[in-house]
Amino acid sequence: MNFFDIDERVLAAAERASALCADRLREIEDIQEYNQIKMIKAFQQAGVRESYFSGSTGYGYDDFGRDALDRVYASVFEAEDALVRHNFVSGTHALTVALFGILRPGDTMLSVTGMPYDTIRSAIGIEGDYPGSLRDFGIRFEMTALLPDGTPDYEQIGRDLAEKRPKMVYIQRSRGYSTRPTLTWREIKRLCDIAKAASPASVIMLDNCYGEFVEKVEPLSVGVDVMAGSLIKNPGGGIAPTGGYIAGRRDLVEMCAYRLTTPGTGKEIGATLGNNRELFMGAYHAPHVTGEALKTAVFAAALFEVLGFDTAPKYSEARGDIIQLIMLGNEEKLCRFCEGIQAGSAVDSFVVPVPSDMPGYESKVIMAAGAFTLGSSIELSADAPLREPYAVWMQGGLNFHGGKLGVMLAADRILKNS
């Protein structure tokens, strides 16, 4: 039944889109099954038991649940070690801890995927004049620009690495607020191969936000040394209330743990305060929920392509993250899209998103997110800076049916107001 009075033109386009992307949805379900089974094996190898769900207080000594959760993440990500904590306040925080944990005054970090995402720039010292940035500590940032089509300039990267020999090679998997393609494991592997050949002593670090469980191949298995991300994106499964992770080589994870707590204590302290159960449950559900978000993104691409809009990636293309980019062309359509996503939410459906200033962003941003967890982008959400090319970045969907509804309502708002 048409509970939401969706325009017949949208219903017809949705039926056509569903047929177009049916094969791609089945491919995603295969990835879901693979990663879900892998996750269950990781739980078993970590010896997870019900008593691990209890929280600790104070210093958090001998928190066996916390330590087992680290083992789960290390196993499923094919890492030597992992640091999973509720007190990472965001993915940017986890990335910043990793940067400060590994880099030292006089070191150089070289971004080989162009300009990093907006919110990490202030931590690096690229934008703003905030005390305590990497720049304040004498750590240099350099960048290899992307090619005009948004793909890595592999030849120039090789030359830059051979010349600069940076302490860190920094890779951002997802597109951020840009229109460049997201990296799949194949592009990540190529970058790692180039880095290890041209500058073998460099640490290869990956911003893995939005990319977890999207593919069967893990970045740490193709040459990445350390990676970080947020638990209110893919790996929290829509259940983790907050947090982040760092995973990779044992020595690098230890350095990051010393930065998060103190040198010498590292991972040995840190009370979990009753969060263990939700973090374990989130990890367990993460492969399936990520697949649901992927299916939502593929359907969105197919629907808006049928309606005549440009999308990236196309519904039929390979994906390295859960983000769907839709080119809407002007501010009005952008706002209508976000209104539709909000109207399809179970939480705060009556709210009308409006553009506003946000910390860490240079442009006004509009965000739609009726989420059970504030800011959770594994739940259906859409956001965009109000600037050219007036594209919207949509991600998430705890289940495909709810995500599909939100996408259809977004299209409905645009058509009814055109």
Q: What is the CATH number of the domain that holds 384?
A: 3.90.1150.60
Task: Pick 258 or 360 by higher pLDDT.
Answer: 258
Residues 169-176, mean pLDDT to the nearest whole number: 94
User: Predicted confidence band at 130 (pLDDT cuts at 50, 70, 90)?
Assistant: very high
Of the three residues 283, 314, 329, the one that is the final residue of a domain is 283
Calpha distance 233→117 (Å, rounded): 16
Calpha distance 390→403 (Å, rounded): 22
Calpha distance 211→330 (Å, rounded): 28
Calpha distance 169→333 (Å, rounded): 38
| Residue 31 CB contacts under 8 Å (≥ 6 apart), including other chains | 213, 214, 215, 216, 291, 294
pLDDT computed for residue 310 by the predictor: 97
- Can you point out the beta strands (E) in 202-357? 203-207, 226-230, 244-248, 310-312, 324-327
Residue 2 has pLDDT above 80, yes or no: no
253 with 141, same domain: the answer is yes
Residues 409-414, mean pLDDT to the nearest whole number: 97
210 with 142, same domain: the answer is yes
pLDDT computed for residue 418 by the predictor: 74
190 with 275, same domain: the answer is yes
Task: Pick 134 or 364 by higher pLDDT.
Answer: 134
Of the three residues 283, 305, 321, the one that is the final residue of a domain is 283
- Other beta carbons within 10 Å of 102: 23
Which tokens sit at 196?
């290890």
Helices marked H in 199-330 — which ranges?
250-260, 276-306
> Does some domain include residue 3?
no
Q: What rounded mean pLDDT belongs to the chain?
A: 96
Residue 368 has pLDDT above 60, yes or no: yes
Residue 87 belongs to domain spanning? 37-283
Residues 12-23, mean pLDDT to the nearest whole number: 97
pLDDT computed for residue 1 by the predictor: 53
Contact 24, 305 (CB under 8 A): no
> Does some domain include residue 128?
yes
Residues 68-92, mean pLDDT to the nearest whole number: 98
Name the residue type at position 326: I
pLDDT digits (tens, 9 = 90+) for 327-339: 999 999 999 999 9
Residues 159-188, mean pLDDT to the nearest whole number: 95
Calpha distance 178→199 (Å, rounded): 28
User: Predicted confidence band at 194 (pLDDT cuts at 50, 70, 90)?
Assistant: very high
Residues 104-128, mean pLDDT to the nearest whole number: 95
Q: Using a CB cutoff of 8 Å and minimum separation of 24, what contacts does 327-330 make?
A: 327/389, 327/390, 327/391, 328/390, 328/391, 328/392, 328/414, 329/389, 329/390, 330/390
54 with 167, same domain: the answer is yes
pLDDT computed for residue 360 by the predictor: 60
State what percent of residues in the chain have pLDDT above 90. Answer: 91
Residues 301-321, mean pLDDT to the nearest whole number: 97
Given strand 108-111, what is the order of strands in its sheet?
81-85, 244-248, 226-230, 203-207, 168-172, 108-111, 140-143
Residue 362 has pLDDT above 80, yes or no: no
345 with 384, same domain: the answer is yes
Q: Could you give the C-alpha distances from 77 to 46, 242, 253, 299, in angstroms and in order?
A: 13, 20, 13, 28
345 with 324, same domain: the answer is yes
